[in-house]
A and B are shown apart, each in its own frame.
Chain A
Amino acid sequence: MDQTTLNIIVVGASFALYFGIAIWARAGSTSEFYAAGRGVHPVLNGMATAADWMSAASFISMAGLIAFVGYTNSSFLMGWTGGYVLMAMLLAPYLRKFGKFTVPEFIGDRYYSTTARVVAVICLIVISVTYVIGQMTGAGVAVSRFLEVDARTGLYIASATVFVYAVLGGMKGITYTQVAQYCVLIVAYTIPAVFISLQLTGNPIPGLGLFSTHTGTGEPLLVTLNGLLDDLGFNSYTTSTNPWLMALFTLSLMIGTAGLPHVIIRFFTVPKVADARWSAGWALVFIALLYLTAPAVGAMARLNITTTMWPEGVEGQAVAVDELPDWFQTWSVTGLLKVEDKNGDGRIQYYNDGNADMQALAAERGWQGNELVTFNRDILVLANPEIAQLPGWVIALIAAGGLAAALSTAAGLLLAISSAISHDLIKSTLNPGISEKGELLAARISMAGAIALATYLGLNPPGFAAQTVALAFGLAAASLFPALMMGIFSKRINSAGATWGMLAGLIVTCLYLFTYLGWFFIPGTNMLENTASNYLFGIPPTHFGPIGALLNFIVAYAVSNATQEPPQEIQDLVESVRIPRGAGGATGH
């Protein structure tokens, strides 16, 4: 059986599983559609949250981000997990106690203002729509690469799959498919990692293998890797560059994570406040299973690639063109990998040609530049089974795993968008008299509309696809997180304070991003070149989230103190979200 048939069987089986769950977990009421009837076990919710959270970026890109930069990109590891500590202690339990369905709903009620609610809806939609584009294109690419259809067809297949279980089941269907998707993605990620760790270190646990002895050299794995990279003129794998920028970026990812609405709403699905606290812990356990493995995958893959290119060691001959492993051929077709024998010696020299010492050595040995011209970092995880020469079914599993990661995140985001439209805009602002049945229908139509929009944007990605993740995290950090946290921890913050605070955070963050990345990310419209010397206090646009958040806090505090304190019933509301008693099921909507 050829690889494509095998891929179709494995991916098809996983899709059939998701459809089966969707039919079993149909939503019959708005409570089920928005919050899975608040009956999800905290451990299962932890699994669903992990799948909801871990997107194509975590599954496919993160190991590569670490592999080609090393220590400095540990920011992603700490940032994308540390946010859960903030969420578990500062947001999740109180918002579960509040007992409503959406994030803007809390903001609207707590700040007794439709304006605040609408501002929150705008923040939510901007954050979630930008985030979902990447998921749809990622899923489309994965479908087309592994099932050998073109990227458009791939995207349609992915959209149709999400459509079936998200429109039918709402949060209930999404929750249980996410549980299944978590299992698929974690198995797919772990199996190749275990084999590679065994090959390189003899340790079956990749996270431990990273700090073990390399069987080939008898030295620790990281020492071996650092030695090779140093010989080839690359930066050391374990050295830090600018610790303050790294800390700021980590903080940006942490606060952004805690403020992402599609993750927050997952904690509305558990039966009790106490469960919301446990569930955050379980979510992080399930996330950590992948996040503790990812740095090992990164380092080991970097080592594997380097030794593939230099089979006799750096002092010896480089790999001959006709001795390159088969996966070079497979991936060259996609354009993500490219070699070019510049000096025509029939061998491929891989080294850092930007390094002055290496240029001298290259001149001496007759090299004419780095010949591994392109190596897209996303290949790393996708080609991992091939690099480690694992059987075909493992490759098929990676395909199913990558799709599970992209689809589960897309579904969570689409639910956040559609519930903001049907519940916050239609039900509460435009047509308060709508019946339960009418709202459920509106929720389904909004979901279908959101999927259509995401598909359209996936097919015609705006020129800013690469910047969108920075935008989503920066905005979540600067707008929603401070408004939610202050709403719980301060009784003094009033409607004007919160609204102006959110607007200040949102607008200033957008302006800062637009200044360097172009107005609405249209290339060429940026006012300053995106280089370090232009940055305000040396802060890159991707690191701006905490500054926006700080501004939000300051404006909200100043405006609130200059205006009237919130009415007594709002202060009582704050008192009541602080204690778990009386949460029960969904209340008054």
Chain B
Amino acid sequence: MADKSSANAYWAANKRIITISLVIWFFCSFGFGIILRPLIAGIGIGGTDLGFWFAQQGSILVFILLIFNYARYMNSLDREHGVDEQ
């Protein structure tokens, strides 16, 4: 890590994408899957409501997308800031 400001920017960007990811993580599991389920109860899917689908399957699919997106983003951020492994 050459200079201090690049290091700070790198870490700030990491914390930003973690925060965004965890907000989505929260809304898709605890939100739509549990607490906000009544809000989206009007949307039907296969004989039940969307909240049930989020609790049993949707949240898991979102988790996978979040991790792959994070890996892709961070691995390119590493290169941008010159902190990737050679």
A contact residues vs B (CB 8 Å cutoff): 66, 71, 74, 77-78, 81-82, 84-85, 88-90, 93, 207, 210-212, 219-224, 226, 238, 240, 243-244, 246-247, 250-251, 272-274, 277-278, 280-281, 284-285, 288, 291-292, 295, 575, 578-584
Contacts and interface: CB of A to CB of B under 8 A. Distances in A.
A251 B30 contact: yes
A575 B4 CA distance: 11
* Main secondary structure on B side of the interface with A: helix
Interface string B19-51: 001100100011001110100000001111100
Which of A85, A93, A224 gathers most chain B CB within 10 Å? Answer: A85
Contacts of B75: 274, 277-278
Given A220-B46, A277-B75, A580-B78, A81 B84 contact: no
Given A281-B71, A581-B84, 15 more contacts: A74-B33, A77-B55, A78-B29, A82-B25, A211-B46, A211-B48, A226-B47, A240-B37, A250-B30, A278-B68, A281-B64, A284-B63, A291-B60, A581-B85, A582-B85
A71 B64 contact: no
Interface of B: 1, 7, 10-11, 14, 18, 21-22, 25, 29-30, 33-35, 37, 45-49, 52-53, 55-57, 59-61, 63-64, 66-68, 70-71, 74-75, 78, 81-86
A274 B11 contact: no
Given A243-B34, A288-B60, A288-B61, A74 B67 contact: no
Given A85-B66, A272-B85, A277-B75, A77 B34 contact: no
Contacts of A578: 10-11, 14
A21 B81 CA distance: 41
B75 to A, nearest CB: 5
A284 B71 CA distance: 13
Contacts of B56: 66, 71, 74, 77, 210, 295
Contact of B63 (A85, A219, A220, A278): A85
Given A247-B34, A281-B68, A582-B85, A219 B47 contact: yes
Contacts of B29: 78, 82, 250
Nearest to B69: A281
A281 B70 CA distance: 9
Contacts of A78: 29, 33, 55, 59-60
Q: Which of B14, B46, B86 has the most CB of A within 10 A?
A: B46
Contact of A211 (B22, B30, B45, B68): B45
B27 to A, nearest CB: 12
Contacts of A579: 1, 7, 10, 78, 81, 83
B63 A82 contact: yes
A88 B46 contact: no
A240 B37 CA distance: 9
A583 B85 contact: yes
B55 to A, nearest CB: 4
A586 to B, nearest CB: 14
Contact of A77 (B45, B60, B68): B60
Contacts, number: 146
Contacts of B63: 81-82, 84-85, 284
B15 to A, nearest CB: 8
Contact of B64 (A212, A220, A284): A284
Nearest to B67: A281
B52 A71 contact: yes
A588 to B, nearest CB: 17
Given A211-B47, A284-B63, A246 B83 contact: no
A221 B47 contact: yes
Q: Which of A243, A251, A291, A582 has the most CB of B within 10 A?
A: A243
B47 A222 contact: yes
Contacts of A281: 64, 67-68, 71
A85 B71 contact: no
Contacts of A220: 46-48
Contacts of B45: 211
A274 B71 contact: yes
A210 to B, nearest CB: 7
A462 B59 CA distance: 36
Contact of B52 (A238, A274, A292, A584): A238
A93 to B, nearest CB: 7
A277 B46 contact: no
Given A78-B33, A85-B21, A210-B56, A274 B84 contact: yes
B46 A222 contact: yes
A59 B40 CA distance: 31
Nearest to A246: B34
Contacts of B14: 578
25 contacts: A66-B56, A74-B33, A77-B57, A78-B29, A84-B67, A85-B21, A85-B63, A85-B66, A210-B57, A221-B47, A222-B46, A222-B48, A224-B47, A226-B47, A238-B52, A243-B37, A247-B34, A277-B75, A280-B67, A281-B71, A285-B64, A578-B10, A578-B11, A581-B83, A581-B86
A243 B7 CA distance: 42
Contacts of B21: 85, 89
Given A82-B25, A82-B59, A578-B11, A280 B71 contact: yes
A274 B78 contact: yes
Contacts of A238: 48-49, 52
